[in-house]
Amino acid sequence: MKIAYPKVYRIPLLLLISWFVCVGTVMAQDRRITGRITDGSENSPLPGANVVIKGTQTGMVTDANGQYTILVPSGRNVLTISAIGFAA
């Protein structure tokens, strides 16, 4: 059984559906955060430091040059950085 909508309702219905699809796509985008972790006193790179999104298990480890790239969900998030031998 096929439901036939009058032509008057087709365009607003199509616009409404398109709007929901666009808003859902825009709101679900992640941000790519890149950076470099260095030792504060000598400004040398800090390899092996952990970069984690606070309150989650999402994170990564810096490379040999202290650089990292992490995908962070949209919204307010805090990155926590820790390394062995360094105080918070």
User: How high is the mean pLDDT in each 10-residue block of the chain (88 residues)?
Assistant: 59 64 61 90 89 93 94 89 83
pLDDT of residue 20: 62
pLDDT of residue 29: 77
pLDDT of residue 2: 66
- Sequence-distant (6+) residues with CB within 8 A of 76 are none
pLDDT of residue 58: 92
Q: Judge residue 55's burial from the number of C-beta atoms within 10 Å of its C-beta, 0-12 exposed, 13-18 middle, 19 or more buried.
A: exposed
pLDDT of residue 14: 64
**Using CA atoms, how far apart are residues 15 and 19, in angstroms rounded to an integer?**
6
Q: Strand pairing partners for 50?
A: 61, 82
Question: May I ask the CATH class of domain 7-82?
Answer: mainly beta
pLDDT of residue 26: 55
pTM here? 0.65
